Amino acid sequence: MPNRLFIKLLLGFWLCSSLIIALVGLLPLLQQNHDRAPLPPHLERVLASIAQRIQQDPSLLTTDFIRRLEKHRDIEGKPLRIYLANSQGQVINTHRVSRGVRSFMLMADEEKQPISHQFRDELVFGPYQFNLGAETYSLYGRLPDNHPRPWFFFFAENKLLTLSLAIFLSGLLCGLLAWHLGKALNSLKKSANALAQGDLTHRVDEATTKRNDEIGQLASAFNSMADSIETMVNNQQRLMGDISHELRTPLTRLQLSLALARKKGQQTTETERIGYEAEQLEKLISELLELSRVKLSTNETKVYLGLAESLSQVLDDAEFEAEQQGKRITIDIDEDIELAHFPKSLSRAIENLLRNAIRYAASDIHLQANVEANQVRITIQDDGPGIDTAELDAIFKPFYRPDSARQRESGGWGLGLAITEAAITAHKGKIKAENRVPTGLEVNISLPI
């Protein structure tokens, strides 16, 4: 089966170029057909009367009469000029023959019959042929005449303007075709970028999927693929959450058994170790459940609230923690910033970043939030050792713990920043980490308003 998109492109560009060429090529033909016509009877009678007079008195050809033919004669209130040509096509009654008359004589010779032709400001007609002895003469007439002409003949007389207009129209038509195709491809590109950035709910618009060509089929296939990916990822997150939830039951029983053993005085080094590991397992399961909850955005609805109000408790806790460690935290949040967000998820994300900054900072932590180009920009900086440049993008992956100065002594599981990244993605925002100069780490968050 022929490629429909190929046919659309072929027909579009072919018809566009053909239409422009046809319009430009037809203009001279239309002008010629409009300006050229058979010799009108009343003009033919004028030429015939002059020819008859010469035939009746051939001596007129040798008198001033022949020269006076070129002089003005009145016909219907318009001055008329007459030109007499011999059988060789030479005008014998004057040496002042206009360019239009000479062009007309060639036209009439090609037509093989008497005609009239409308030039820009004059009407030329003829020839009327008559014999005098063995010689054949031809009479031509010229009248000043400004005959109304169709507006599009203007382009036939202005070749440069017509060429420029043809180039413009062909560019316009080709541009419309390119826009028709590019709009759908741009929609596909935006959907692919959104999917790559973690927005699993984004789909190609309905106008693109309803196209009856390969682009429409591709858009439908892309949406089907996105549906499958969203289902698989959500199922994976639900499975992780379900497994973590189910692990809590035997873990609770284990902790209960340890508590009973301690109560009965059966506390040993081994039971203490088991209790410690059970607590660590409990924290890990809590982190996994939090990551699953944030990624699925369950049990929480967006509210339109001030950013400072949502983060107030987190910021108070961070100031207290920094003070206990002898460090200074500076907070600069515009009180007018308001946006729709998940308060718990966003608070947890900022809390994780602040705790990391406080843990690894030498002395100073700085948090700033402001509005830039319809986006809330949150920046968290510290003066700690930073992270290897090659690992900056990977620190937001679950269970990833870089072998760097910031993580070497950490007791975490590499889920804190993963939870932060999931929370920012749930807000359709972006998060990026980069090292500061000369030392330290800076984390930038952008949230749409």
Residues for the chain: how many in total?
Answer: 449
Cα(413)–Cα(223) distance, integer angstroms: 35
Q: Which of 133, 113, 155 is nearest to 54 (CA)?
A: 133
Q: Is 366 a catalytic residue?
A: no
| Contacts of residue 5, Cβ cutoff 8 Å, sequence gap at least 6 | 181, 213, 214, 215
**Which one from 72, 147, 180, 245 is the annotated catalytic residue?**
245
For the four alpha carbons of 46, 49, 55 and 57, in that order, the dihedral sign comes to negative
- Where does residue 391 rank: exposed (0-12), middle (13-18), buried (19+ CB within 10 A)? middle
| Cβ–Cβ < 8 Å for 380, 355 | no
Partner residues linked to 85 by β-bridges: 91, 138
DSSP letters spanning 131-187? EETTEEEEEEEEEE------TTHHHHH-HHHHHHHHHHHHHHHHHHHHHHHHHHHHH
- Between CA 184 and CA 211, with CA 228 as vertex, the angle to 5 degrees is 25
Pairing between β-strand 375-382 and β-strand 364-372 as defined by DSSP bridges: antiparallel
User: Catalytic residue numbers?
Assistant: 245
